[in-house]
Amino acid sequence: MGFFDDITPESGRATRALPRPDGQVQTPIAIRLMLARTEQVAVAVVGLWAFAAGFDLLVSVQLRDEVPGTSVASFMAGLDEEPLEDEFCRLGIQFSTGEKAANTELRAAREESSAIAGPIMKVRAGGGGLLSREWRYWVSPLPPPGPLAFVCEWPYFGIAESRTEIDAQLILDAASQSIVLWP
């Protein structure tokens, strides 16, 4: 079974995810993680920002050439279809405890974060052009100590499930330096 096979809106995980906080100055983390790269496409994590209750994750997608009839934005559409189309770029995170979240979970986009079983990976913003695009995701709660995996799979471009790991302590240390403006 692959990483994304058991992540569904009905996963039924224990509730503990928090919404992205307002009134807080986050701590930036300089990072660049290549998740996948082929002759036609590259997917990378190009930024992290730590908060007391989670972190923002910036993912960059670059296409080498235009794909006829599509834009890079169209590759993130199609979440309402079952099963997911091969054109959809799947992204996920996995904590050292085995808990995971992915952009394939519709629940994260449709419900209040505080009512969602955690962890969550909720898209916050996205933009770009025909050949490049970036998406910013809110991930909550903070990961526990140990390895934190970033996972990517994109069948349309021949990208099999790939994992890149960092030490979660990097995020935990940065989160401890975030500033809560108004408790």
Residue 60 lies in a domain: yes
Predicted model pTM: 0.83
Instruction: Per residue of the chain (183 residues), give pLDDT as tens.
Output: 788 887 765 454 444 567 777 888 999 999 999 999 999 999 999 999 999 999 999 999 998 887 766 656 566 554 445 556 788 889 999 999 999 999 887 544 444 544 555 688 988 888 887 788 899 999 999 999 999 999 999 998 999 999 999 999 999 999 999 998 987
Provide the domain limits for residue 35.
24-180
Could you tell me the CA-to-CA distances from 44 to 62, 73, 91 in Å, in that order? Answer: 9, 16, 10
Residue 5 lies in a domain: no
| Two tokens, residue 99 | 């808990």
Residue 12 lies in a domain: no
Q: In CATH, what number is assigned to the domain containing residue 163?
A: 2.60.40
Cα 78 to Cα 141: distance, rounded to the nearest angstrom: 27
Residue 127 lies in a domain: yes
Number of H helices, E strands in the chain: 2, 12
The structural domain count of the chain equals 1
Residue 6 lies in a domain: no
Cα 117 to Cα 115: distance, rounded to the nearest angstrom: 7
